[in-house]
Amino acid sequence: MALFTCGHKIPDSDSIIGAIAMAYLQEKLGNEAIAARQGEINPESQYILDKFNLEAPIFKDSYAGEDIFLVDYNNYTEAPEDLKEANIVGIADHHKLGGLITSGPLDVWIRAVGCSNTVIKEMFDYYEVEIPKNIAGAMMCAILSDTVIFKSPTCTKVDTKICKELADIAGIEDYKGIGLEMFKVKSQVEGVPMRNLVQRDFKAFDMNGTKVGIGQLEVVDLSIFDNMKNDLIADIASLKEEEGFDTVLLLLTDIMAMGSQILVATNSLDIVEKSWDVKVENDQFWLDGCLSRKKQVVPFLEPSFK
């Protein structure tokens, strides 16, 4: 029976490339493996796949009775609906523990680093498996994406070191230049439906019994949102009602200005404001220095819902 390697719902580049890299590693370890994904491929991930001539993971959102290796998540919220009926054989991740329960022991690689592909590179090293140049280049891009070209507070010295090692394997000198090209691709938002933008990089959270959704759009110039900000605000308000969220936030992150304009739709305005000691005006506020949802948003908001 084949082993499926699969990232989280609404997959980002870390999930897409991580699934490909993990499937290759598992094949080299003697396991028949298939890279899979739970959602559509975003423009940045497609750029990476095209640049390194890689096939996209297959779409698969049901895993009952299947063997699955989780990449870039370890919770039920971002998992396939039938994950409890699947056999989880491993996890490669860089997030906090999310409450999974398994029926047997499994291979777990979870590190406090900026990207799951950093962890997967360490797995390649541990098992002494060489990484093909194209997969190494794609893994390098995933790290540059997740760490915002090393600017994110989630970035560690390990991420930086491994990214450079992957660049060497891929024969790439100007890896930061490729990172900037990726973020230019991310910045292409004209003509994209509002809901697609809102959910391009969107995660749902159970914050002490309260359902919260947080999306993020990372761009090189925040002014591209000037003529669509009101439409984005209206769409997150609609999403909040449709999906039963108490709060939906959308981070418009300017990686050059090093901060985020945060759009807000909430039933708990007082909680949002006290989380960062800010005043929400016109359904938005600026958070200087904010580049990371994981480090600079969730840890501040979640305790406020206790």
pLDDT along the chain (306 residues), means of 10: 95 98 98 97 96 98 97 96 97 96 94 98 98 98 97 97 98 96 90 93 94 96 94 98 98 96 98 97 97 96 94
* DSSP classification of residue 305: G
| Structural domain spans, the chain | 3-184, 194-305
Q: How many CA atoms lie within 13 A of 221 on its CB side?
A: 7
- Model pLDDT, residue 211: 97
- Residue 29, token pair as written in the block: 């370890």
Which are the contacts of 48, defined by CB distance < 8 A and separation ≥ 6? 13, 16, 17, 54, 138, 141, 142, 182
Cα angle 284, 252, 199 (rounded to 5 degrees) comes to: 105
- Model pLDDT, residue 1: 81
Exposed e or buried b per residue across 185-220, where buried means at least 16 C-beta atoms within 10 angstroms of its C-beta:
ebbebeeeebeebbbbbbbbbebeebbbbbbbbbbe
- Model pLDDT, residue 35: 98
Q: What CATH topology corresponds to 3-184?
A: inorganic pyrophosphatase (n-terminal core) (3.90.1640)
The gap from C-alpha 42 to its chain's centroid, in whole angstroms, comes to 11
**Of the candidates 83, 97, 92, the residue with the CA atom closest to the CA atom of residue 22:** 92
- Model pLDDT, residue 188: 87
**Is the CATH number 3.40.50.620 carried by domain 194-305?**
no
What whole-number distance in Å separates Cα of residue 107 and Cα of residue 89?
A: 6
